[in-house]
Amino acid sequence: TKMNNGNAVIALQGETLAGFCYIEVWSHGRYVANSGLIVSPDFRKQGLAKAIKQKAFELSREKFPEARLFGITTSLPVMRINSELGYKPVTFSELTQDDAFWEGCRSCPNFDILERNHRRMCLCTAMLAPSGREAMQFDLTHMVVNNIW
């Protein structure tokens, strides 16, 4: 259904699937996660993960401009990509509190840590990007005066 709803980014090389990422919407559209990033081993170390995440980020902004974009990960490369896209590390309390999202963590081997800590901490790093509207609030370029002399 994510593909039918246009909530996925698929990278193809000819007819070969090279990579994939999908969008999930939480808390009635207030939060959006770009999840399930997969790059085929034959296509790794070529910048494809970054390109897929960039497209998923742009798609999320386009479809859900009011949403805050977030992710949780233990992957250092994903953390780097997210940082380049404007995500910042945050506490878990700043993420969606939608039970369905957290239920998705149940298959993780570290779920017991998350559960023991009442969703306040885990081995994952939580990262959050502001909504499109929040991001625009800090644009001060209109206040810059050039060529004053």
Please list the alpha-helical segments (H only) found in the chain.
Answer: 48-63, 76-84, 99-103, 111-116, 132-137
Question: Phi then psi for 83, rounded to 5 degrees?
Answer: -60, -45
122/142 Cα distance (integer angstroms): 41
Q: Would the pTM of this model clear 0.75, i.e. be above it?
A: yes
Q: Compute the C-alpha angle 118/131/104, nearest 5°.
A: 35
Please report, in tens digits, the pLDDT of each residue of the chain (149 residues total). Answer: 677 788 999 999 999 999 999 999 999 999 999 999 999 999 999 999 999 999 999 999 999 999 999 999 999 999 999 999 999 999 999 999 999 999 989 999 999 999 999 988 899 999 999 877 666 555 555 566 666 66
Residue extents of the structural domains in the chain? 8-143
Residue keyed to tokens 């000819």: 14
CATH 3.30.70.3340 is held by the domain 8-143: no
Determine the Cα–Cα distance for residues 41 and 81; give it in Å rounded to an integer.
18
Q: Are 36 and 86 in contact (CB under 8 A)?
A: no
Residue 94 DSSP label: G
